[in-house]
Each structure stands twice: as C-alpha cells, then as structure tokens.
Structure 1
C-alpha cells in the first residue's frame, strides 16, 4: 500500500469535509498510516508535525497510551447502551469530573455526540426554559460577528461566516448579530482591554433595546477560531456576564475549541472569572480519540424542567449515542491527565517558547499581526502592512504556506491567509522551533510576488 494507490481509491468513493473536491487535483491529499505523539506518518514513510492538532481535537499526542488503554478496557466491558432509562459508571464519573472542573454553578451535564450537537442542546434548552418560566416571548438569540458554532442548522444559524452559511440561509432562524470584539481592528496604540470595552458598548446597546425577546447570547470565549483565530480581552466576557444578569438573558459559552487548556487556563471563561449559564465542550474532551460532547448548565435550569410527566415539561432532545460509554471512558482518561500532570503549567512554558520562536514574524513586511492566546498563535498575512489591506482571497496565499510545510514535514492548514499553530501539548521546544522555521520559510514564499 502506498500514497498514490490510496489517493486514487479515495477519490473514487469519498467526499471530504470543508473541501472543494476539485482542489485535490491541485493540492493532493495525504493518506496517513499511523500517528505517534505530535507526528503523523504517511504510507510512503514521510512524517509531519501535526501543528493544528487534527482540527484542534488532539491534546496529548496521537496514539497516547494512557487514553488508548482506557478505550480498550472499556470496549471489553461495555461499548454503549441506550441512555434513556439506563446509566453506567463512565458517564457518571465523567459528569462528576466535569462539574468539579468547570466554573462554579455548572452542576448538570447533558451529553451530545459532537460540538454542533452541544450547541443545539444549549440553544433548545434556553428557548424551552423561557417558555417554562412564563416568558415565551424570549425566542431570539444574539451572536457575535465572525462567530462560528458548528455545521448543524441551529449551530450554523448563530454563526456568522457567510461562506459556510449563505447557501443554507432558507433553513435557518434569524439571529441578531453584535459587532465582534476582535482586537485586530483596534486603533494604533489602543490596548486589547480598551478596544474590547469599546466594542462591548455596542453589545450593551443591542441588549438594552432587544432584551425582552432575547433568550441567550452565544460567544466563543477569548478566541473566535474558525474566522481566523480572532482574539479579544477577557474584560469583554466580564462585562457580558454582568449585562446578561442585568437583563435576564442567558449566556452560552462555546468552549468547544478553546476549552481544556488551549487558552492558558483550563477553560477560557476562567480568565474573566465568570460562569456562563450554559457551557459547550467537545474536541479536546476526548483528546482526538472519539466523538463526544457535553453541555453543562445550572441546577436552576434543570429544575425548571423537573416535574410530573403529565405536565409535559421534559427536555426530549436525544441522540443515539447520548452518554456513549466508550467515549465517556476516553474523556475521563483525558481529564485524569490534567489532574495527574502539570499540563497548564507546562503549556505556559511552551506558549512562551512559541512566542519567542515567532517573535520575528512581526517584522515581516506582509504580516499585519502576530497574535497569541495561550497555546493558540496566529500570523496574518496581508498585501499592505500599514493599511492592513488583505490579499485577494483568490490568490490563496495561505495554501502556498500549506504546500511548503507539507514538503518540509509539517501540517500547517491555514485559515485563509492566516497561518496558525495549535499543536498537541506534548510538542517539544525543539519541535516548536522547527515549526517556526518551516512557517517562516512558507510565509517568505507565499508573499513573494
């Protein structure tokens, strides 16, 4: 078996996600045979540093033996069982651990199958809650400009990336959109803190005007990942929590991509010292081994649904794999690593090294900004640095970096013209240095006219 034969077989039968399939004529796919640590290996023996954690899911390296063993032990006992009317130890253990680890007040866990389903659960539960609370007029949601929350219809409705959303608009409900606190657009000399506060005032104006019909506000805390690793200051979240309390609106924190240590704390909300009303987690929850998500909420919200059967107040949302036993066992093994090893402390050292290794990127004439929050770092390529004029998107300069990186042994999948690092936490300083060198060379090539 080799790369060429697998590519041919693949293209005959498969349709890949987030892809224009004709692109594979220009940018051939890479068949992967195995993974170990931060490395992926193809069928021709080439190895690649997985700098993007395989779409942000991998925390502790490919084929991590601790997590793999937990998975093997669980499937020998119970792979899955219907979660209506039945329960099992892995689901209970994981829920107890999530309640203990997440911000205070998140006391109830509802399982889903992926990030999008966790968002759908939060949206439906918020809407349903207000009906039970005697405020059925609260049916609207507020989301942030450039936000992204998933691909299912409800999750996509509260997202704001036109390329993903526009063709399916007829399927979706209307959403109110507040300007993003994305600090890339701050004035020269303006701090992240001050810009985020300035943008928050626009959210306040919207909520003051519309709060009587608003069920919830949904945000990605600190980093809007899919729109280009757009980052903002925790003060925005602090003020948003106060605003939601003031006007009786739920706050939904989508920590799917930013949770479990990505931003420098276990959860991004911790940096603002807030507890949302709903928190969605997935991706790193199972460290890249299995699909699973969880939506956490408050006991008071749970109690609104808790009544006699005849009252018809039950939350009837379900998935075939709700409470997936094997996934729960894998997730618990993942969270155990956070408790047995100094992951967050080690990440701070790695994040600092990442900053040092890429510090010179900021001097490049075609890099408008190098931004970083914890273990997420992004460099934005532009046509003109002073005016921040972007390159024509049709030039696909980010893909030039991607091609170069693959040729040099690294997976650096861009977001448009934004090159970013979001590596597994087992990466070494030496591997970070290698990534930085490869990315720098790729940027040099990509910005050469």
Structure 2
C-alpha cells in the first residue's frame, strides 16, 4: 500500500499561492514564511519561530496582532448584524456611527464619508467623483490627475496610473491623462547650494508650469501623500505644501490627501495632512482605520466638496458607483473600536513618547558607511543604502542589497521591508523602547554581515 506523503506548509504554499509584490528569486530559493498567529508586535510561523514585525503587517496592525478588545468588537458585531451594504439609502447603524466619528476626527468642520474596502478603491473612487463633478459642471475636459514621482496610490487601473513607480510599465500604465510632478525628496533631488525651502519653491514653480502647460481647465485634481510611504518614507521638504497649496487654489484644483499610511497616528498626529499643513479638500483613509483587523477604506469629503457631489448626484438621480462590502457593519464596528484604542488606550501617546528614541536609533543606523540618508517621522523610517555617502551613488542593482538585508534580518527573527535601495520600518504603535532597540540591534548586526558577505 502506497503511503501518502505529507506536504509541508511551505510546499503547499508554493503549489497554490500566487504572491503579490514578492521577489520570486528569493521566494524560489528560500521559500515562503507561513504564519499561524501573533502576540503583540511578534508573529509566529508554523515551526514556532518568532519574528518581530517591524512593519506592523503592511503599516496597519498598529495595535498588535492579538488585541482582545478589537477581537471582541468583531465577534459582538458578528453576532448582532454581520453584513450589509450601503446602497439605495439603506445602511447599518454601526456604519452611520463610524461616519460620524470620522467627520468628527477630520480637520473638516463638516462633511460626508464614502466607504470602500481598501485604500486603492478609495483613491479610485475619488477620481470618479472628480470626473463626475466636473462633467456635471460643464467641464468634461477636466479629467487629468496630478500625482508625484515615487508616489504610491494603489493598484487599480486608475490608481496604478497615479502611482509613480516604474513597475507599472509592466501593465502598460499609466493611462493617458495621469500626470506626475516632482518628488519632494530634498536629499535626493536638491541642487548644490539650494536650501530646502528654495527646493520646495522650485518644485512649486515646476507644478505651476505643468498646470499652465497642460491647461488648468483640463485638470481634475491633485493627489498627495503627506509622507510618501511606499516610495521609501519621504517626508515633504520644508514648506512644500505651504508653497503648492496657493497654486492649486489659484487654478481651482482640488487637493486630495492620501492618508492611507499616515492617517490615525503614524506621524505622531492624527493626520499627516494636519502635521504638514496640507489643507486638503478630501482625505483618503485605510490601513490603521481598523488596525489591520478588517479590510476597509474611506473617503472623508470636506464640506464644500461633499455639497458639490451631493448636488450633482441629485441631478443624476444617484452616484453610480459603489462596493458590495463598502461600509460593512463588521468592519465599521472594528474601526470604531480601533479608533477608540488609538485615542483612549495610549497608542497615540506612545507614538509621541517612543518616536524620539526610534528616530535616534534610526539616525545612528544612518551613520553606517553605506547609509546615505536616515529619514522618517513619528513611527515610520527608512535608511537609504548607497555606495558613496558624498556622491549618493547607488550600489550596483545586481547586488540587491536591500533584499539581502531583509532576508538576513528575517533569518535573525526580524521582518523589515526592502524598498528600492532602502530598508523601511513602520512598527506598531504599542512598541516599547526596548523593542525598538531589539529591531535596531538586529539591523546593525545584519548590515555588518551583509556588507561583509558581498565584499564591501
């Protein structure tokens, strides 16, 4: 009798799962990491090995991986009313309560909330809102969307076109009409002898030149992250938003703050757009809104934009766009509890308390011979790896240096994220100074070993 061969979890993964945003060379040589559970900021694989997740999942598991209060809120809502939609004027009471809370938390005096299942869907929805609004106002030519080089806004066809990353060429994107202006990364793009404020002023002039060249009456809106997250944690240069906001107002171009990563405390304030004086017309939120316990996205519309959209939707008899699970009562219950945890269980206070130590250790890591820049804000940071500090010259791409560092760190029980030539960190809001030290101790040791391995 032939005995059935028991397959490992890793083998089962390789046979059945198609992984997004994964280096397939690493996957094929090292295999996947299959996880079973989490405790605080740590996750555990099928072999019982523990890892510190220094990226809190994908920026979103900010309350840790086993917060009992959030789990209880999910279970209680599941027993009460587990699922419904927000179409046709019908909605769950929990959804209404969350919308009220989001408007209250927002920098807007009044407004409305539109629910989606992800940040990508939320950004995509705003594009359609702007297109409909301009078309109904007799300006159907106003369809162009401005974003920035190195921006990340999502993976739908529209939001991938908004994302300023070279890999979207694989899909033949961006679509026509999606424009990109400068990335506000002073360290990388500042000119010799140019101050940081002068750099921001130059970028503002470039933006205005782009608007004039394309025609202000053809531009539907501009989207910007307060801090470019998936671009490698790039805070804006000094005075950046103060310089570009008057230009957008001058040409009546709405500014949308993509707060998918920054929102709900990541920068040390509730909204990155407040920290950096963006004064947006709408905010896109996701990730931390449910602490990673449920998929959700939301568009928080300021008073003026929401009133305009209501008016044109009344003219059209409806807003013809929506998602079956948008505003799902389970997710809304989780979001209400997650926001309560961030506000009232000391998570925001902890970000403010431990972020100076986080930044101190980050800057120390930036003293490494091959660290070009250590940058960040709040509990998000990155170290850019270079061949030469002075010239900022990159190491040969074939070395895959950030991938090597991330893989070696993983062996040592640390999950960090390689992004281009940078190593990116975004730990949970519950992290302690001792745990911050654990992260950076492992990273320092890892970098020494990796650079030795490649002969540097």
TM-score normalised by L of structure 1: 0.94
2:200–2:243 contact (8 Å) kept in structure 1: no
Structure 1 residues 432, 307: CA separation in 2 closer, same or farther (over 3 Å shift)? closer
CA distance in 2, matches of 1:179, 1:403: 32
User: How far apart are 1:45 and its partner, in Å?
Assistant: 1.5
Partner SS for 1:383? coil
Structure 1 residues 106, 267: CA separation in 2 closer, same or farther (over 3 Å shift)? farther
Residue number in structure 2 paired with 1:54: 57
1:228–1:415 contact (8 Å) kept in structure 2: yes
1:402–1:412 contact (8 Å) kept in structure 2: yes
Match of 1:258 among 262, 270, 278: 262
Greater CA drift, 322-331 or 84-93: 84-93
Residue number in structure 2 paired with 1:237: 241
Greater CA drift, 175-184 or 72-81: 175-184
1:18 aligned to 2:18?
Answer: no
Residue number in structure 1 paired with 2:366: 362
CA distance in 2, matches of 1:305, 1:122: 11
1:15–1:21 contact (8 Å) kept in structure 2: no
CA distance in 2, matches of 1:310, 1:41: 51
Output aligned runs, 1:313-352, within 5 Å.
314-352=318-356
CA distance in 1, matches of 2:205, 2:122: 29
User: How far apart are 1:231 and its partner, in Å?
Assistant: 2.3
Partner SS for 2:73? helix
Residue number in structure 1 paired with 2:72: 69
Structure 1 unaligned segments of length 5 or more: list them.
Answer: none
User: How far apart are 1:406 and its partner, in Å?
Assistant: 1.6
CA distance in 2, matches of 1:171, 1:338: 37
Match of 2:137 among 129, 133, 145: 133
| 1:354-373 deviation line (CA, Å, top 9, x unaligned) | 12223322321111011111
Match of 1:281 among 271, 282, 285: 285
1:416 aligned to 2:408?
Answer: no
User: How far apart are 1:198 and its partner, in Å?
Assistant: 2.8
| 1:369-395 deviation line (CA, Å, top 9, x unaligned) | 111111111111111111111112221
| 1:152-184 deviation line (CA, Å, top 9, x unaligned) | 001011111011x10222683331211111122
CA distance in 1, matches of 2:340, 2:179: 39
Residue number in structure 1 paired with 2:204: 200
CA distance in 1, matches of 2:175, 2:191: 35
| 1:412-432 deviation line (CA, Å, top 9, x unaligned) | 121132112200011111110
Tell me the C-alpha RMSD between the 2 structures: 2.1
Residue number in structure 2 paired with 1:175: 178
Residue number in structure 1 paired with 2:3: none
Structure 2 unaligned segments of length 5 or more: list them.
Answer: 1-5
CA distance in 1, matches of 2:245, 2:279: 8
| 1:233-270 deviation line (CA, Å, top 9, x unaligned) | 36212232222211111111111011111112111111
Residue number in structure 2 paired with 1:9: 12
CA distance in 2, matches of 1:266, 1:440: 31
2:347–2:430 contact (8 Å) kept in structure 1: no
CA distance in 2, matches of 1:115, 1:180: 21
Partner SS for 1:33? strand
Residue number in structure 2 paired with 1:93: 97
Greater CA drift, 433-442 or 333-342: 333-342
Match of 2:221 among 201, 211, 216: 216
CA distance in 2, matches of 1:100, 1:443: 45
1:132–1:305 contact (8 Å) kept in structure 2: no
CA distance in 2, matches of 1:235, 1:344: 25
Greater CA drift, 295-304 or 328-337: 295-304
2:256–2:281 contact (8 Å) kept in structure 1: yes
2:365–2:374 contact (8 Å) kept in structure 1: yes
Residue number in structure 2 paired with 1:372: 376
1:429 aligned to 2:433?
Answer: yes
CA distance in 2, matches of 1:25, 1:311: 55
User: How far apart are 1:97 and its partner, in Å?
Assistant: 0.6
User: How far apart are 1:329 and its partner, in Å?
Assistant: 0.5
Question: Aligned pairs, how many?
Answer: 445
User: How far apart are 1:293 and its partner, in Å?
Assistant: 0.4
User: How far apart are 1:444 and its partner, in Å?
Assistant: 1.7
Residue number in structure 1 paired with 2:146: 142
CA distance in 1, matches of 2:363, 2:109: 39
Greater CA drift, 9-18 or 295-304: 295-304
Residue number in structure 1 paired with 2:406: 402
CA distance in 1, matches of 2:379, 2:180: 28
1:106–1:275 contact (8 Å) kept in structure 2: no
Partner SS for 2:318? coil
Greater CA drift, 354-363 or 11-20: 354-363
Greater CA drift, 137-146 or 115-124: 137-146
CA distance in 1, matches of 2:25, 2:420: 18
User: How far apart are 1:190 and its partner, in Å?
Assistant: 5.3
Residue number in structure 1 paired with 2:449: 445
Structure 1 residues 308, 50: CA separation in 2 closer, same or farther (over 3 Å shift)? closer
